[in-house]
């Protein structure tokens, strides 16, 4: 297959591209409480998932993440209403019975619930829900098992653990649908608290069993096995990886904190990335592993990952140029529309058209009919 055919040839996109796209949208969502770009990110993730997800069972997990996101918003509003404080706001919605909390200053159960507090809780819950839906979109679009094939050899032990954690939620959704269908075949109702109790144990057991089976299969095939290496090589690898990860953590904190340590963010991130890349390179030489039919990284992967990066960059630029459009000064006012940030988020919807079409499933073989001759 020639490289230029990878653009339009039906194939599965590299899962790393989907995860980079989703992380870019999640980074954009983490920088604002404005509901306009947050709702736009939710719409973009849902649109791309509906356009480019496969027919696999794990690809239908986005709906579960969306329901969990709605639950997070509801819980955030309820807790804000119950655990009230003196800074609720002037616009009173209703008043709950007040119970003071012993040993706390200004915290009480119940009391005055204002419109400002409810809106603030809604915006904060919407931000967390949007980030969660970005992770759910990556789970629905990119197979975590295929992503493990691209993990560097030095990080293979960590990659196995991460893949087991990432496959738990999709397998949970798959097992829930299977157990619910079995209950319907037995004539049992599918709703209510009693049905939830019957559903919980087999679903959790099935998801954990599948994750453990995946880990056992990987271990039996030699994943994570290392070759002999000298003491100096092991110490150098560990030092580079530890220093790189420390630098990356400091750099990410400096970029996302918005405090006076922001000047340290980019230099620390670049230094940590270089050190981590060196550690991964030297550590990868200790693992003797081969790849069977590795997933290609061609122009569609660059376009998909770049569209998520565009959303993050435009959000950071908007935060630097016009922070009032992203950090709301008054939650009761009509939220402004940050045009640059919304344009970048709109670019993140292009993978619905730029990603290569999925391969069609093979048609089922026709049933064979046999003729039996009966001797007269």
pTM above 0.75, yes or no: no
More confident residue, 209 or 62: 62
Judged against a pLDDT cut of 90, whether residue 134 lies above it is answered with: yes
Nearest of 342, 338, 341 to residue 328 by alpha carbon: 338
pLDDT in tens, 41-50: 999 999 999 9
- Distance, CA of 309 to CA of 60 (rounded, Å): 25
Predicted local distance difference test score (pLDDT) of residue 163: 65
Only one residue has tokens 């003797």, namely 288
pLDDT in tens, 144-159: 767 766 666 666 666 6
b vs e for 104-139, b when ≥16 Cβ sit within 10 Å of the residue's Cβ? eeeebeebbbbebbbbbbbbbbbbbbbbbbbbbbbb
Work out the end-to-end distance of the chain between its first and last CA atoms, rounded to an integer number of angstroms.
58
Judged against a pLDDT cut of 70, whether residue 209 lies above it is answered with: yes
More confident residue, 126 or 2: 126
In the chain, what percentage of residues exceed pLDDT 70? 66
Predicted local distance difference test score (pLDDT) of residue 304: 93
Predicted local distance difference test score (pLDDT) of residue 18: 92
Task: Annotate 240-278 with DSSP letters as a single string.
Answer: HHHHHHHHHHHHHHHHHH-SGGGGGHHHHHHHHHHHHHH
Predicted local distance difference test score (pLDDT) of residue 165: 67
Between 200-204, 333-337, 355-359, the lowest mean confidence (pLDDT) is in 200-204
Only one residue has tokens 């998520």, namely 308
The two three-digit tokens of residue 176, written as one number: 């829930």
Predicted local distance difference test score (pLDDT) of residue 285: 61
Confidence band of 168 (pLDDT split at 50, 70, 90): low
Judged against a pLDDT cut of 60, whether residue 225 lies above it is answered with: no
Predicted local distance difference test score (pLDDT) of residue 370: 44
Burial of residue 199 (number of CB atoms within 10 Å: 0-12, 13-18, 19+)? middle
Question: What is the rounded average pLDDT of the residues 265-271?
Answer: 77
**Measuring CA to CA, how many Å separate 262 from each of 41, 242, 253, 259?**
25, 22, 8, 6
More confident residue, 333 or 261: 333
Judged against a pLDDT cut of 70, whether residue 296 lies above it is answered with: yes
- Distance, CA of 348 to CA of 343 (rounded, Å): 9
CB 200 within 8 A of CB 179: no
Cα maximum dimension of the chain: 100
Judged against a pLDDT cut of 70, whether residue 136 lies above it is answered with: yes
SS3 of residue 121 by DSSP? helix
Predicted local distance difference test score (pLDDT) of residue 74: 92
More confident residue, 86 or 208: 208
**Measuring CA to CA, how many Å separate 244 from each of 155, 250, 373?**
13, 10, 76
Predicted local distance difference test score (pLDDT) of residue 369: 47
Mean pLDDT of the chain, nearest integer: 76
Between 89-98, 299-308, 332-341, the lowest mean confidence (pLDDT) is in 89-98
CB 19 within 8 A of CB 147: yes
Q: What is residue 186's DSSP assignment? A: T
pLDDT in tens, 95-128: 777 776 665 555 667 777 788 888 888 999 999 9
- Distance, CA of 305 to CA of 290 (rounded, Å): 26
Predicted local distance difference test score (pLDDT) of residue 336: 87
């Amino acid at each position: 297959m020639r490289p230029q055919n990878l653009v339009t040839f039906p194939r599965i996109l590299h899962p790393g591209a989907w995860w980079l796209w989703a992380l870019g949208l999640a980074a954009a969502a983490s920088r604002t409480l404005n509901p306009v770009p947050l709702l736009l990110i939710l719409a973009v993730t849902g649109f791309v998932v509906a356009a480019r997800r496969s027919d696999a069972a794990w690809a239908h997990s986005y709906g579960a993440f969306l329901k969990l996101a709605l639950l997070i918003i509801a819980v955030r509003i309820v807790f804000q209403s119950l655990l009230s404080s003196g800074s609720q706001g002037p616009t009173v919605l209703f008043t709950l019975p007040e119970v003071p909390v012993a040993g706390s200053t200004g915290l009480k159960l119940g009391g005055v619930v204002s419109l400002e507090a409810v809106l603030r809780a809604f915006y904060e819950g919407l931000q967390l829900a949007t980030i969660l839906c970005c992770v759910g979109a990556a789970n629905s679009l990119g197979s975590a098992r295929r992503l493990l094939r691209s993990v560097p050899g030095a990080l293979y032990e960590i990659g196995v653990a991460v893949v087991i954690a990432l496959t738990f939620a999709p397998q949970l959704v798959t097992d829930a649908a299977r157990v619910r269908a079995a209950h319907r075949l037995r004539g049992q109702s599918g709703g209510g608290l009693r049905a939830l109790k019957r559903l919980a144990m087999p679903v959790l057991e099935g998801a954990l069993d599948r994750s453990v089976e995946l880990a056992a299969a990987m271990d039996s095939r030699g994943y994570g096995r290392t070759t002999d290496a000298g003491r100096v090589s092991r110490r150098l690898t560990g030092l580079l990886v530890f220093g790189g990860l420390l630098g990356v953590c400091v750099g990410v904190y400096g970029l996302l904190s918005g405090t006076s340590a922001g000047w340290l963010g980019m230099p620390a991130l670049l230094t940590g990335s270089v050190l981590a890349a060196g550690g991964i390179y030297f550590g990868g030489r200790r693992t003797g592993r081969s790849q069977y039919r590795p997933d290609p990284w061609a122009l569609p992967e660059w376009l998909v990952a770049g569209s998520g990066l565009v959303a993050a960059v435009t959000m950071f630029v908007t935060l630097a140029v016009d922070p009032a459009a992203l950090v709301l000064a008054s939650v009761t006012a009509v939220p402004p529309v940050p045009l640059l940030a919304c344009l970048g988020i709109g670019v993140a919807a292009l993978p619905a058209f730029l990603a290569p079409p999925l391969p069609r499933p093979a048609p089922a073989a026709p049933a064979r009919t046999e003729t039996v001759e009966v001797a007269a």
